[in-house]
């Protein structure tokens, strides 16, 4: 029996749902409302001391960290395989999935600076810090405070944009031997990036790759054409979220795109 603690829009949880969908694995979903702070509930933190989603419980065994969970699923439910059979091929997949953990931090920076900040600014000042003051990691709390203060003007946004620039550049190169990141087969490397790209698209940041990296744009179109995109990502997003993302992201779009062009000079 598999139980996935996840969130409707949370990209790391969606990353695991993509793997579950690709393998057609049945699971019971338990929604953790991150906006309501349910991730800080002491009972949930016994499962996931980092107070984040996803958490997977398989026959009483608890697993955290989306990349680790995806590898565990691929080993436990090998059909269809989402990693090559040979050690070198698996190492190449792992190079991408390892990197995805740092990319997640950059995705979080963009979401917090474009969306969360705008939403929190509608609340009284004493309410705002409550969203992040319980985050166990001090570096993450500091980043949130910095973003709440400066929004997209924050230097952490430039760091995130440089990270995306390097990622897209390397993807563009790898996809010359595509159609997937490590060659002919869709793997965990591809599965782990889809929800991140879709988040950027919802934040109206798709121009960051569409305007500069054509093979990356084609790769993402292929990812979206897979049935797992609908079942694992689209179907979980509550309809009002689309308008909320759009209305907060549109005013920032030109500024973010211009900053990305500057970031690309450092890549």
User: Binding residues for ligand GSH, per CB under 6 A?
Assistant: 10-12, 34, 39, 52-54, 65-67, 101, 104, 135
Report the chain's C-alpha Rg in angstroms.
18
Q: How far is the CB of 179 from ligand GSH (least distance, A)?
A: 25
The CA-based angle 234-199-205, given to 5 degrees, is: 130
Nearer to ligand GSH, 134 or 210 (CB): 134
Nearer to ligand GSH, 67 or 252 (CB): 67
Q: How far is the CB of 6 from ligand GSH (least distance, A)?
A: 9
Strands (E), the chain: 2-6, 28-31, 55-58, 61-64
Residues 114/106, Cβ–Cβ less than 8 Å = no
For residue 62, whether the previous peptide bond is cis, meaning omega lies within 30 degrees of 0, is no
Q: How far is the CB of 144 from ligand GSH (least distance, A)?
A: 9
Q: How far is the CB of 10 from ligand GSH (least distance, A)?
A: 4
Q: How far is the CB of 151 from ligand GSH (least distance, A)?
A: 17
Nearest to 236 by CA among 15, 39, 1, 3: 15
Q: How far is the CB of 199 from ligand GSH (least distance, A)?
A: 9
**Residues constituting the chain:** 267
Nearer to ligand GSH, 141 or 166 (CB): 141
CA distance 194 to 199: 9
Nearer to ligand GSH, 18 or 52 (CB): 52
In the 8-state DSSP scheme, what is residue 80? Answer: S
Backbone region of residue 60 per phi and psi (left: phi > 0; alpha: psi in -120 to 50; beta: other values) = left
Which residue's CB atom is positioned nearest to ligand GSH?
52
Q: Could you tell me which residues are beta bridge partners of residue 4?
A: 29, 56
Nearer to ligand GSH, 140 or 169 (CB): 140
Nearer to ligand GSH, 137 or 177 (CB): 137
């Amino acid at each position: 029996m598999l139980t996935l603690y996840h969130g409707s829009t949370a990209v790391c949880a969606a990353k695991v749902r993509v793997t579950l969908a690709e393998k057609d694995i049945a699971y019971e979903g338990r929604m953790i409302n991150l906006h309501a702070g349910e991730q800080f509930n002491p009972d949930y933190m016994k499962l996931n001391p980092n107070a984040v989603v996803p958490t997977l419980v398989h026959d009483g065994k608890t697993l955290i960290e989306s990349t680790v969970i995806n590898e565990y699923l691929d080993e436990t439910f090998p059909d269809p395989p989402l990693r090559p059979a040979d050690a070198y091929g698996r190492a190449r997949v792992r190079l991408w999935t390892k990197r995805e953990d740092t990319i997640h931090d950059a995705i979080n920076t963009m979401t917090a600076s474009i969306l969360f900040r705008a939403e929190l600014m509608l609340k009284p000042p004493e309410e705002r810090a409550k969203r992040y003051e319980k985050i166990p990691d001090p570096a993450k709390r500091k980043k949130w405070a910095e973003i709440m203060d400066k929004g997209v003007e924050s230097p952490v946004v430039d760091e995130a944009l440089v990270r995306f620039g390097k990622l897209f550049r390397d993807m563009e190169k790898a996809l010359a031997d595509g159609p997937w990141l490590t060659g002919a087969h869709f793997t965990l490397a591809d599965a782990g990036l889809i929800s991140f790209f879709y988040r950027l698209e919802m934040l109206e940041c798709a121009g960051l790759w569409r305007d500069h990296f054509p093979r990356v744009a084609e790769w993402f179109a292929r990812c979206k054409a897979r049935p797992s995109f609908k079942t694992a990502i689209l179907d979980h997003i509550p309809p009002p979220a689309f308008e909320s993302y759009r209305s907060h992201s549109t005013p920032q779009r030109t500024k973010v795109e211009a900053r990305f062009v500057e970031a690309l000079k450092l890549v």
